[in-house]
Amino acid sequence: MAIISEYHKQTQSVPDHVGIIMDGNRRFAQRLMLQPWKGHEWGAKKVEDVLEWSRELGIKTMTLYCLSYENLKSRPKNEIDMLLGIFEREFGKKETLEKLQKNNARAFVIGKTELLPKKLQAILHNLEEKTKNNTKHIVNFAIVYGGREEILDAARKIALDAKNGKIDPKKIDEKIFGSFLLTPECKDPDLIIRTGGEKRISGFLLWQSAYSELFFTDKMWPDFGKDDLMAALEDYNGRKRRFGK
């Protein structure tokens, strides 16, 4: 709490929307000579901490990259099965919904959720439905998400509407295109943080992150601490955002 209080004293700007690419769970487990899914279990616990810190800071929107579309297809089946089991447990427990309701936070799940097991789909849908009237915070959970897939799906929907005469192709602009994406309720992310040492965005919010500030840290996601979040925010506040100007 002291670190957060000190941050508020020293800075005037808190990003409205922060996205996090939560990388390094598998390498964290490997370092401890554990099975890969053990790293995902540690990572799931870290999500709770970071959401609490972001709420204390006044960050209105968080988007968390939980599972990419590409990883669903490429990772070993037993690892994916264990990860989906963790999702089912964490999103399904009553404490998850209770915290969202207590903090007046609305949950969205973005991605190709139709590829998930039916039981998990139902749990995620219930979380969205039960929090749909909350207005203070937004938490986007990107699950089976791919930025290229999101853009392609939006283009397909726009093309279909144009074909059916619902939209004039000449009037399609950034605002209209953005309304067909998976985050129409949110402003574009101000800051994107990637843990795990890699310096790329791996398809995360490709359209929305056009002018986002990027922050990379070597910390593995389960090791990511409050001081690391503060470091990212302090770095963000040291930059002059130009938005292409």
Q: Where are the domains of the chain?
A: 13-146+190-235
Q: Residues 106-131: pLDDT tens digits?
A: 999 999 999 999 999 999 999 999 99
Mean pLDDT of 141-156: 98
Q: Is 16 a catalytic residue?
A: no
Structure tokens given for 62: 């968080």
pLDDT over 80 (residue 177): yes
Catalytic residue, from 23, 25, 140, 190: name it.
23
The amino acid that residue 159 corresponds to is A
The one-letter amino acid code at 25 reads: N
Q: Under a CB-based contact definition with an 8 Å cutoff, are residues 126 and 49 in contact?
A: no
103 a catalytic residue: no
**Catalytic residue chosen out of the listed positions 16, 25, 49, 71:** 71
Cα separation, 173 vs 1, in Å, equals: 43
Out of 3.40.50.920, 3.40.1180.10, 3.40.1190.20, 3.40.50.150, the CATH code matching 13-146+190-235 is 3.40.1180.10
Summarised one tens digit per residue, pLDDT across range 58-89 is 999 999 999 999 999 898 899 899 999 999 99
Mean per-residue pLDDT, 148-155: 98
Is the per-residue pLDDT at 22 higher than 90?
Answer: yes
Element counts in the chain: helices (H) and strands (E): 10, 6
pLDDT value at residue 240: 81
Give the residue-averaged pLDDT of 27-38: 82
Taking a C-beta distance cutoff of 8 angstroms, is the pair 233, 7 a contact? yes
Instruction: Provide mean pLDDT across the span 130-141.
Output: 98
